Structure 1
Amino acid sequence: MAKIAFILLCHKDPEAVIQQARQLTAVGDCIAIHFDARAPQEAYDLIRSALADNPNVTFATRRIRCGWGEWSLVQATLYAVEAAVEAFPRATHFYMVSGDCLAIKSASYAHDFLDRRDCDYIESFDFFESDWIRTGFKAERLIYRHWFNERTQKRRFYWSFWTQRRFGLTREVPSDLQVMIGSQWWCLRRRTIEAILDFTRARHDVMRFFRTTWIPDETFFQTLVRHLIPSREIETRTLTFLMFTDYGMPVTFYNDHYDLLLGQDALFARKISAEAKDLKARLGELYASDRRDFKISNEGRNLFTFLTGRGRIGRRFAPRFWEAESTLGRERELLIVACKKWHVAKRLLGSIKHHTNIPAIEYLFNEDSTEMPDLGGIQATLGKRTRHRRALMRMLFDYYGSDRLIICLDTANIDLLQDFCSDRSTTRLLEIECNMTDAYLIGHARRVGLAGEETSPEGLGQLLPALRADILFESDRIREAEFPNHLRLRENATPAENAPALATFLQVPDDTARALAETPYLFVD
């Protein structure tokens, strides 16, 4: 069975470190601790004395001062790894954690998980080809030497960088290495760790190189594992669940995130708030339990993106130059059916096609799979359709040889509605207002990845109000825009009440509109 040696890097809150070490070792696992030398000696002494009688705890062979982005973080890790390898000869896996990490599964589950596959878990993407680095320095991390801390010695850091850049003082990456990048939170097998330690003793050139790279904790282990271990024995993922905000800061978890954390496909989570006492206690009890029946929904990242994205919906400040003077055509009519329940709009479109000869296309700006004619590639992807929306619509009018065309849009597409309704052509908008039951919202959340089949009822209970409010917000934005020729079809209205809106929208006789309003099962989910 797997036996984990945790590699803990920490720098504060000695009481929490003691509690964390006791929780992780209570079921037979072990831990090697590096406590930052920047922290007070009294704090370190407190940790050592409190854990002195625990045979499953050891300490890094040397204590050093660590700084963000520096080699010192990697060196501290190596000191702790060396101590763990020496102290725990029966450890099969070495798991990197911080003082803000806690288990979100039981030890039994974690051991079974690691036993199922003989591999290393570490993010390791090609440094130059991947988009793991979104902004800031990229190649500059490697080809220039970085001796100073960017946060504490900013002037020296950038003086050194610009001096090297001005005089072309670059260096080559060691020729036999493919530099990789990824999260520093890894879980590696014993033979992998031993191979890395042997490599560090043999390859002084590589060690010199990484000592002056910037943020080496994201590249050192990631590169060496790929260099030393066959790809088939590496799973490119971290077993620690973590998320980042739009500003690049880690998301913090609190007491009410317990159910969400348990549903993620990970063994640990980072980072747990120091104030989340109840969450820490519950997760500590969980790790010591024998529970194995975890239901993995894995919706955490999608849910966070959805909830934090409300109110941040931006708009283009001006149309692109090739669209500024374009128009769909003064004599043309674009008819837009806006509905959150796509199946309702599609049923109505099917009925319209049956009763009229107006060309109609379903959610062409929302679904890749929407059936589209070949228009030379402009229709190939949702990105292209949206970027070249007016050009696409003109080509569709031409393709069908008609001056009238119906399309469907999601009510969230306010930017498209504003664009089309501001055109010189005649645009009419039919908004379909549907009842949003809890059952439908749950299904919608699962379809868009905000929830999984195993999401707990408590998690769904927290999500549904946000979803319902979001849908109402979309409808309110459409009303507030005061689009001309805006009509509504309501699920709660009778066919007789809905028929006039359809007659005006399609410019069809009353009997045709009545037949459309009586479309069988129109609003059925």
Structure 2
Amino acid sequence: MSVGVVMLVHNAFDRAEQVVRHWSAGGCPVVIHVDKNVKRAAYDDFVKSLADVPDVLFSKRHRCEWGTWGIVAASQSASTMMLAKFPDVRHVYLASGSCLPLRPIKDLQAYLAKRPRTDFIESATTADVPWTQGGLDFERFTLRFPFSWRKNRFLFDRYVEFQRRFKMYRRVPEGIVPHMGSQWWCLTRQTLSAILEDPDRKIYDTYFRRVWIPDESYFQTLVRLYSQSIESRSLTLSKFDYQGKPHIFYDDHLQLLR
């Protein structure tokens, strides 16, 4: 039991069930977080559908919305449960219910077993990468973002303008350097435990709660405090369109997926 999977599920429960069964059949325990926006009846049906699968648990639910803190909270809760309930897990792999393994699970287990102290997480400063658009590169760490970019775009933009105009910038907590990267990571037990048990976690959580898109910066930043070896890449293949929405791969993407 070298790899445990933390799975974030928002919809498409039939597909998520298939993926959970696949991970479990490969010998991986799975801790599932289901978005609190999902209705209780649908959640209960999903839980029942996996009742016969060993080593599958469900974590405390949080309300998740793109670009907001809920996704980080979901990852924290499920990861904490994974580490507590499955002491033999050496790496924790964060995935979604739509992430399908491209290679046999035993290959992943063997790959990670050869790299017991390596954390796989895309982690780079805003100065190092050209990912960001619209001027919100380092400002995502120095402004506050209490409004939803998708649901309240007008308020989002006006509040950004207001803060810039009156120079209402906030300080990054002492001791950390903001980093960014893909939200999908695979961390060692040692590193993940250190992040979750950090004595200053309350300070970091309070700060990142108002960072824009914190799921792409929280773990990516804090991993720099504790990791002995970082390979700055995600083990999950993902591609995005010009709006930042992830591509869904189909059969005609076979050449890419190989």
Q: TM-score range by the shorter chain?
A: over 0.9
Equivalences for residues 39-50 of structure 1 within 5 A: 39-50=38-49
Once the two structures are TM-superposed, the CA of residue 104 in structure 1 deviates from its matched residue by 0.5
Contact 1:14 1:46 in 2 (8 A): no
Q: 2:83 and 2:130 mapped to 1: Cα distance?
A: 31
Encode CA deviations 1:162-203: one digit per residue, 9 max, x unaligned: 22222221111112111111111110111111111111x533
Task: Give the distance between the partners of 1:18 and 1:250, measured in 2 at CA.
Answer: 21
Report which structure shows greater RCO (CA 8 Å, sep ≥6).
Answer: 2
CA contact (8 A) 1:5 1:95 kept: yes
Alpha-carbon distance between aligned partners in 1 of 2:166 and 2:57, rounded to the nearest angstrom: 47
Figure out how many residues of one structure are paired with residues of the other and give that number.
Answer: 256
Alpha-carbon deviation of 1:221? 0.3
Q: Is the contact made by 1:8 and 1:34 (CA closer than 8 Å) also made in structure 2?
A: yes
Q: Report the counterpart of residue 270 of structure 1 in structure 2.
A: none
> Unaligned 5+ residue runs, structure 2?
none
Specify whether residues 246 and 155 from structure 1 end up closer, same or farther in structure 2 by C-alpha distance, changes over 3 A only.
closer
> Aligned-pair distance for 1:101?
0.6
Matches within 5 A, 1:421-436: none
User: Is 1:87–2:85 an aligned residue pair?
Assistant: yes
Deviation per residue, 1:341-369 (Å, 9 max, x gap)? xxxxxxxxxxxxxxxxxxxxxxxxxxxxx
Residue type at the aligned position of 1:174: P
- The yes-or-no answer on 1:225 pairing with 2:223 is yes
- Relative to its length, the structure with more helix (as a share) is 1
Q: How far 1:247 sits from its partner (Å)?
A: 4.3
Q: Tell me the TM-score normalized by structure 2.
A: 0.93
5 Å-filtered alignment, 1:262-281, equals: 263=258
SS in 1 for 2:66: coil
CA gap of 1:10–1:132, structure 2 versus 1, over 3 A, is farther
Cross-structure match for 1:29? 28
Partner amino acid, structure 1, of 2:231 = E
| Among candidates 110, 114, 117, match of residue 115 of structure 2 | 117
Quote the residue 1:65 is aligned against: 63
CA contact (8 A) 2:195 2:201 kept: no
Task: Give the TM-score taking structure 1 as reference length.
Answer: 0.47
Q: Which deviations, in whole Å up to 9, do the C-alpha atoms of 1:12-49 show, x marking residues without a partner? A: 12222211111110121111111111112111101111
Partner of 2:158, secondary structure, is helix
CA drift of 1:123 comes to 0.5
Code of the residue aligned with 1:244 in structure 2: it is F
Q: Distance in 2 between matches of 1:171 and 1:42?
A: 42
What letter matches 1:88 in structure 2? F
Matches within 5 A, 1:385-404: none
Question: RMSD between aligned alpha carbons?
Answer: 1.6
Query: Contact 2:92 / 2:188 at 8 angstroms: preserved in 1?
Result: yes
Which residue of structure 1 lines up, in the alignment, with residue 167 of structure 2? 168
Deviation at 1:259, TM superposition (A): 5.4
1:325-349 deviation per Cα after TM superposition (whole angstroms, max 9, x unaligned): xxxxxxxxxxxxxxxxxxxxxxxxx
Inter-partner Cα distance in structure 1 for 2:9 and 2:101: 16
Equivalence for 2:102: 104
| Residue pair 1:93, 1:189 contacting (<8 A) in 2 also | yes
Aligned pairs for 1:451-462 within 5 A: none
Kept in 2: contact 1:125–1:132 (CA 8 A) = no
Q: Distance in 2 between matches of 1:208 and 1:216?
A: 11
CA positional deviation for 1:246: 4.0
Partner-residue secondary structure (3-state), 1:102: coil
The amino acid of 1:71's aligned partner reads W
Instruction: Report how far residue 51 of structure 1 moved.
Output: 1.5
* Aligned 8 A contact 1:93 1:188 in 2: yes
* Equivalent residues of 1:17, 1:47 under 8 A apart: no
Indicate conservation of the 8 Å contact 1:142/1:213, yes or no. yes
Moved more, 203-212 or 101-110: 203-212
1:254 corresponds to which letter in structure 2?
Y
**Separation in 2, partners of 1:115, 1:247:** 37
SS in 2 for 1:180: coil
Whose Rg is larger? Answer: 1
- For the residue of structure 2 that corresponds to 1:179, the secondary structure is coil
